Chains A and B, each alone.
Chain A
Amino acid sequence: MSRDHAGGATHPLPSGMAGARARAGWVVLAALALVVASFWSLDLQWGALWSRDAAHAMGRFVAEFFPPDTSPAFVHKVVLATGETLAMSALGTLLAAVFGLLLALPAARSHAHPLWRVPTRVLLNALRAIPELVWASLLLIAAGLGPMAGTLALALHTTGVLGRLFVEAIENTPPGPAFALRVQGTRPAQVLLYATLPQVAPQLLSYALYRWENNIRAASILGVVGAGGLGQMLSYHLGLFQMGRTATVLLAMLALVLAVDAASYFARRAMTR
């Protein structure tokens, strides 16, 4: 911003309160004010956190986590819940990829009638704006407790995210192949199947995989509101103060997240090499 005049012959002095530097100052001041107001209005209980009592309570709380419950029966249950978490994330992402593509086609500028474009875009934005966890707690009413609510919640939010990414991918495809088919008199559905989709497929796949990675993480905590997977076990055992079991579930959760991180790191490295 401040370099606008760098190439010109004259270098006017920044004008008082509205110049780039002054504006940056105002922004910093506003940010500071926001921070101060936040701390001031929140009645945070630092005392409760740093007092000797709290330190004791915290110590006892942490000590209760040990030893984690490693009885075979419980570990078996945790492994099942981990599988459930993975299945939720995979199925949710798959459903989202399908519906995201179905919604992205009318929402993309290159394909459909403008009458379809606006409502589908609004729908995609609304799906995306509401986080998975909020969707899950809304869906509990319709789908009941259990992993199906979680799967549908992941699917709904991810449909919004993927749909938007797909729209951009489709709009950015080079128009040549589609045009070539169209001037030959090919039907629109075939143009889509044989020109546009093959061009964007690798990008769509990489977006879907990226969201799957995110969704594994999200799925592991969705259960906190009762939507299945590891999260449900976590909130259940934490609610009953069974700390050893909670610790096992927490360890499984962390192992899952670390495994996903490592897998995506190595996959990325293998693909970019």
Chain B
Amino acid sequence: MANGSGSAVASARAPARDPAWRGRVAWLVAGCVLLWPMFVLTEFRPWQMLDSRSLRVTARFLAGFMPPALGLEFLKQVAVETWRTVAIATAGISLALLLAVPLALLATAALSVSSLAGRMAAGPFVVRQAARALMVALRTVPELVWALVFVRVVGLGPTSGVLAIALTYGGMLGKVFAEILESCDAHPTRTLLANGSGRLQAFFYSLLPQAAPELTSYAIYRWECAIRSSVVLGFVGAGGLGQLMDGSLRMLRASEVSTILLVFIGLVALADGMSAWLRRSLR
């Protein structure tokens, strides 16, 4: 193909077929064989949706989307629930920060005094690994599962949503905070610690000034994620837009669903824009 003497000659010599076709066809067949059990397991039969009865229900529901519900009473309710969604996310993130900052400080090896002399001592090592394990446990359980469990304990309402976000996001924030602190330049911290400053002093005067923008930026990004997930939490009864939507869906009130979806998309876009603006101005 690397032929300088013109395209006519090149095309005369080029094989008529894709030279790699055997391999490609073999992969395609292997893929189809692998795919078959998945279609069976997921009961993937899209043609069922095209059956006339199911189509009629779907069509009626979709037709209800236009126009969106704009009754004053309903809009007022949507506004209240929108605020609650934001409030659940914000309260959840603040509690998560309360959980994450101490855990991150406990877990980061950059603040270890004993490792100045070489290896970290056994006691601190165990404490650090325990803090790490706790954070892994917190963030491995999805927030929706936490919410389901808390709804059982404290009942329906925003409390379980706030707690669910606080626990899962506490684990996530703590882990990432510890990683950010450990990726800082270790030299100033070690110098401070070696000269007898406390761990907190070393944190405030060496790690925090280096890492503050990144820490803040990540916390803001997680706040944005929390808004998205607090809507989802509503579906298990943790308050906010999700709960309202769940109710409307059960009643098959399509116009209300359409309003809530529009508000939700707007809210996410707003949070997205705000978080992007804040993080840009941190840089």
Please report A residues at the B interface, Cβ cutoff 8 Å.
Answer: 1, 23, 27, 34-35, 37-39, 41-46, 48-49, 54, 57-58, 61, 83-84, 87-88, 90-91, 94, 126, 129-131, 133-134, 137-138, 141-144, 146-148, 150-152, 184-185, 217, 220-221, 224-225, 228, 231, 234-235, 238, 250, 253-254, 257-258, 261
Contact = CB atoms under 8 A, between A and B. Distances in A.
A247 B139 CA distance: 18
Contacts of A148: 42-46, 48
A84 B91 contact: no
B134 interface: no
Contacts of B155: 45, 48
B108 to A, nearest CB: 20
B278 A27 contact: yes
Question: Majority SS of interface residues in chain B?
Answer: helix
B158 A42 contact: yes
Nearest to B94: A35
Contact of B87 (A38, A54, A83, A138): A38
A221 B144 contact: yes
Given A41-B83, A87-B42, A147-B44, 7 more contacts: A39-B87, A45-B159, A83-B41, A147-B43, A217-B142, A231-B144, A250-B141
B252 interface: yes
B6 to A, nearest CB: 10
Contact of B43 (A129, A137, A146): A146
Interface stretch (B54-62, B189-197, B199-207): B54-62
A261 B42 CA distance: 23
Nearest to B91: A38
A257 B269 CA distance: 29
Interface string B201-243: 0000000000000000000000000001101100110000010
19 contacts: A35-B90, A39-B87, A44-B159, A84-B41, A91-B42, A134-B232, A134-B245, A137-B246, A141-B249, A141-B252, A147-B44, A148-B44, A148-B45, A148-B46, A185-B7, A217-B142, A221-B145, A224-B148, A254-B140
Given A48-B154, A134-B245, A224-B148, A141 B58 contact: yes
**Contact residues on B (Cβ < 8 Å of other chain), bracket:** 35 or more
B184 interface: no
The A interface, classified by DSSP as helix, strand, loop or mixed, is helix
Contacts of A228: 42-43
Contact of A49 (B35, B154, B264): B154
Interface in B28-81: 35, 37-39, 41-46, 48-49, 54, 57-58, 61
Contacts of A151: 42, 44
A38 B152 contact: no
Contacts, number: 157
A126 B149 CA distance: 31
B228 A88 contact: no
Contacts of A142: 49, 54, 57-58, 61
Contacts of A221: 142, 144-145
A1 B153 contact: no
A44 B42 contact: no
Given A126-B265, A129-B268, A250-B145, A87 B37 contact: yes
Contacts of A254: 140-141
Contacts of B228: 131
Nearest to A57: B153
Contacts of B42: 84, 87-88, 91, 147-148, 150-151, 228
A37 B45 CA distance: 48
A234 B154 contact: no
